[in-house]
């Protein structure tokens, strides 16, 4: 019996073990992006010593080559705060028509956290709401955009988790598209770099991320008020491309910044920083630019799974949002044979693998009645 129970437990562990590791952000050969990119709070760099920063985790990478040039606890799962809005934008930007009108609601205005000033009954465009989302980190703008899309906030959350998996951001799990502190919501410095890389490849994302000022309508259509980008890197660092800041009480300061100099485009991401986020980001960027030729990659930003090239989308197969905006059907990730088997195995409950040994155990225990009675007489 003991032998059979051991076999059952071993079978379940052999099957479940590697899959659990993969789901937790570990590739079949080790940490995603390279063996040096772990959750340990050790600074990793090759060729020069980076400046000390206060963040618990950070990544500096070249988003053109995908080379990670310095890192500290890059896969540590931490609260992302509003830097998560970069993933929200990656999901919503291709789905929404920027000229669509959106009427503010009580639910938009009543959301907690940072706001740009979306008021019930006021008319906005999707384009202006994206500006409010990037510049002022407006949770009210995010709520209005998500509500405008098909399926609302629940569908946006689902799409965000799917998008994170599709681009290799395996440390990320989304429960609130605004980035507010929520149970089960986390990301990593490595994943934030992936979001920045994917976002800056889109002209619209890059434009919103680097916009310094915009104007929002006042209540009663009485003029406008100016909104400034909260990413101070844009105002103080030569070649800055912006991207996104974040802060909550539990997450503390989080940050995604990018800059282009000397033909190189670098991104720096930081999480769980007490203060001085702009100065630390500037120091890391300057150090990397200054030592670029001396630095050797310590890892890489993974590339999304190869996607089939999209051809013309038949009119009848297009998906429409709640606003009437037409979207192409959702893309399908192509899996290699090993990934396909693993994906199938994930769908099978763990008890399925232990069932055969347990059934065999039952056969061994079903002894003839005569033998059982004889056994009792001997005792």
Distance CA 220, CA 122 (A): 8
Task: Give the 3-state secondary structure of residue 213.
Answer: strand
Residue pair 134/244 in contact (Cβ under 8 Å)? The answer is: yes
Report d(CA 119, CA 217) in Å as an integer. 9
53: nearest Cα among 251, 286, 246: 286
Q: Of 72, 77, 114, 137, which is the active-site residue?
A: 137
The CA–CA distances, whole Å, from 203 to 41, 94, 200, 210 equal: 35, 11, 7, 11
Side-chain half-sphere CA neighbours of 62 within 13 A: 19
User: 85, 115, 163, 232: which is the annotated catalytic residue?
Assistant: 85
Answer for the pair 164, 32: CB distance below 8 angstroms, yes or no. Answer: no
Is 115 annotated to bind a ligand? Reply is no
Q: Is 35 exposed, middle or buried (0-12, 13-18, 19+ CB in 10 A)?
A: exposed
Nearest to 116 by CA among 94, 92, 146, 144: 144
Q: Is 56 noted as a catalytic residue in this protein?
A: no
Which structure tokens are listed for 331? 């893309």
Would residue 323 show up in a list of annotated catalytic residues for this protein? no
Task: Quote the CA–CA distance of 133 and 76 in Å, as a whole number.
Answer: 26
User: What is the spatial distance between Cα 343 and Cα 211, in angstroms, rounded to a whole number?
Assistant: 41
Decide: 171 and 191 in contact? Cβ < 8 Å: yes
Residue 147 CB neighbour total at 10 angstroms: 16
Which of the following is catalytic: 82, 187, 282, 321?
A: 82
282 is catalytic: no
State how far Cα 194 lies from the chain centre. 8
Q: Which residues are annotated as a binding site for substrate?
A: 244
Q: Which positions are annotated as active-site residues?
A: 82, 85, 137
Task: List binding-site positions.
Answer: 244
């Amino acid at each position: 019996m003991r032998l059979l129970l051991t076999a059952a437990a071993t079978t379940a562990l052999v099957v479940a073990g590697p899959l659990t590791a993969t789901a937790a952000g570990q590739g079949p050969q080790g940490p995603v992006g390279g063996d040096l990119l772990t959750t340990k709070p050790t600074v990793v760099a090759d060729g020069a010593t980076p400046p000390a920063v206060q963040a618990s985790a950070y990544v500096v990478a070249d988003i053109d080559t995908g080379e990670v040039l310095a890192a500290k606890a890059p896969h540590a799962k931490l609260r992302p705060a509003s830097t998560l809005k970069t993933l929200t934008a990656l999901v919503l930007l291709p789905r929404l028509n920027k000229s669509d009108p959106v009427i503010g609601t009580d639910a938009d205005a009543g959301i907690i956290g940072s706001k740009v000033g979306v008021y019930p009954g006021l008319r906005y465009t999707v384009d202006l709401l994206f500006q409010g989302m990037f510049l002022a980190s407006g949770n009210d703008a995010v709520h209005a955009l998500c509500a405008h899309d098909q399926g609302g906030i629940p569908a946006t959350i689902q799409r965000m988790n799917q998008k994170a998996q599709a681009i290799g951001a395996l440390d990320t799990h989304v429960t609130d598209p605004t980035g507010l502190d929520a149970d089960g919501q986390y990301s990593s410095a490595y994943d934030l770099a992936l979001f920045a890389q994917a976002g800056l490849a889109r002209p619209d994302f890059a434009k919103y991320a680097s916009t310094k000022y915009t104007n929002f309508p006042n209540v009663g259509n009485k003029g406008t008020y100016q909104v400034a980008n909260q990413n101070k890197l844009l105002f103080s660092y030569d070649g800055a491309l912006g991207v996104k800041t974040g802060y909550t009480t539990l997450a503390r300061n989080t940050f995604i910044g990018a800059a282009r100099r000397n033909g190189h485009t670098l991104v720096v991401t930081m999480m769980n920083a007490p203060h001085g986020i702009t100065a630390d980001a500037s120091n890391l960027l300057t150090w990397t630019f200054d030592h670029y030729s001396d630095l050797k990659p310590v890892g890489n930003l993974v590339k999304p799974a190869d996607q089939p090239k999209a051809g013309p989308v038949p009119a009848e197969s297009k998906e429409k949002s709640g606003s009437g905006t037409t979207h192409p059907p959702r893309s399908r990730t192509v899996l290699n044979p090993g990934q396909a088997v693993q994906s199938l195995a994930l769908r099978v409950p763990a008890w399925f693998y232990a069932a055969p040994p347990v059934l065999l155990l039952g056969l061994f225990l079903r002894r003839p009645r005569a033998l059982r009675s004889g056994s009792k007489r001997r005792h």
